[in-house]
Structure 1
């Protein structure tokens, strides 16, 4: 058993835009295992936009990240030592181990730790396409948008861990999938590798009128379902192209995570187009995880669901990688390699 552990804690709360100064790298002892606990050598850490909101001491769907404690985060790794009968050394597991190299889990706590099969699916994929981001895509699309064959589904942040899965699942259900992403390389990947029907580069269409014209070309029959990750001007433009009785799954508002105002300027359309808008947090729909993971795991194992990863080299690189994620500098799922 190792004696020391490296971890990153939240040192201070951001005032406006987050910075590396809000984090602190520490070396601390690894605690001795108690009955029912499991020690995991973590291999990969997931970096996700929701972490930014939890850095603030403000009302949210979850408690704020405590100061001077390990940053919250999903992880995958291998059991190094176990004092729980359900786990043995060598088991591959996924849990919320946080920004640290070693994590102790109370394995008896429901949902704290889950064994996974790393022989058919890469271990890192359990933090992406076959993990929380993939399940988020599945729940938002299948459960809330309820796509029907022939409909047009739009998703922004389309090359990211969630958006990339949304489009592929929509195509598998006979829909037209239109992505919105930042950069020609990301749009090329979304269309040529992931199989979307079209992708709009918002960096080339920064004015609302230009973005609307590009969306008209990509979705000539209008938009039936919107999976919203960004908010702001992009959200307004897509709302203006929604068909009657369209459905919006509101997953994220990353353009406002540093405190920017995100007014909806086309709110009248919610009424005139009789739209259904549902904000959702995937952890509140645990009953949907088993069917979602079954489909996602089968598709990844069979090579039918593609994904891409950006991997920071070590724990010390996590803060910069996280800030880059918030700026859209990652390509696909943002991970940190821990082992």
Structure 2
């Protein structure tokens, strides 16, 4: 291969994201300087927050510019190195973006570049041990602060983050209820991930089912969705409850802002707490989460699903799967 295939951001999204927002191009393979590493992407990670990176507004990372390569996490192979810590043939995790080749260096970009631990597959590194697994770990334990016997409600529960949140909550002695879309995902939650109950938002009245499955209300709500599901959840919170705000995928593709929950005062009257967080703030503690997650996975205490699409041409359509609900578990693509 002598050229670097790339997908560029062509137009900012207006409504549902789609392949028309991106443009294919080919450029020369980049050259590296001292302290840099040339990598060839093997797997790409797809995350709901990528939709936010495409919007021209301030955020925790700068927006992707029109004509720039679309940002994404990846697992890649080192092709050439002018850094003493990296050798050709090694596998690394980095922000390789939607392209074949990328120039990376330690300490640069959102995640820098890190070698995969021995025995860890690319699929594992980009899912349970990656951003989504760490988000579940720190979001629940640092912000939710679960205690034995409490009830934990999780939206987006069959997703890469939500499914791990629920299982960690079970390990901490909590009763866990998940909200997901469709019979297949709900069955997986109770039969495989061992949630205590599941609510199908596509076919059930969410508020009614929360009341039925949480007769003593909930103590922690880990929210990946926002929108009407957040409002439904706020009808059933306990005294001193905690709402962990992780994402809002229900609203990411809206053209116009939608009204917020009309029952936020329930947080006040029940002395609750609602807090957002960004996983990048926790990267210095990454090994804490990785070591715990490896232990739980090795012991069979946590299971996870990976949805792998194939082929460079399918990169834009794979991102869209996150917002249509087609993906099941962590969405990846093998180049």
TM-score category by the smaller chain?
Answer: over 0.9
Q: 1:299 aligns with which of 296, 299, 321?
A: 296
Task: Report SS of the residue matched to 2:139.
Answer: helix
**1:62 Cα deviation (Å)?**
2.3
Q: Distance in 2 between matches of 1:11 and 1:281?
A: 27
Task: Report SS of the residue matched to 2:250.
Answer: helix
Q: Aligned Cα RMSD in Å? A: 1.5
- 1:266-294 superposed Cα distances (whole Å, 9 cap, x missing partner): 11101001110001111123343221121
**1:6 Cα deviation (Å)?**
1.0
* 1:253 match: 248
* 2:113 match: 113
* 1:130 match: 129
* 1:268 match: 265
Task: Note the residue ranges of structure 2 that are not aligned, 5 or more in a row.
Answer: none
Equivalent pairs, count: 332
Q: Distance in 2 between matches of 1:23 and 1:118?
A: 36
1:244 and 2:243 are equivalent in the alignment = no
1:8 and 2:7 are equivalent in the alignment = yes
Using the size of structure 1 for normalisation, the TM-score is 0.94
Q: Distance in 2 between matches of 1:287 and 1:88?
A: 24
* 2:34 match: 35
Q: Distance in 2 between matches of 1:328 and 1:68?
A: 28
Q: Residues 4 and 262 from structure 1, CA distance in 2 versus in 1: closer, same or farther, beyond 3 angstroms?
A: farther
* 1:55 match: 54
**1:306 Cα deviation (Å)?**
1.1
* Contact 2:308–2:333 (8 Å) recurs in 1: yes
**1:262 Cα deviation (Å)?**
4.5
Structure 1 range deviating more: 28-37 or 148-157: 28-37
Task: Note the residue ranges of structure 1 that are not aligned, 5 or more in a row.
Answer: none
* Contact 2:166–2:176 (8 Å) recurs in 1: yes
- 1:116-154 superposed Cα distances (whole Å, 9 cap, x missing partner): 1252x3221111110000111111100000000110001
Task: Report SS of the residue matched to 1:254.
Answer: coil
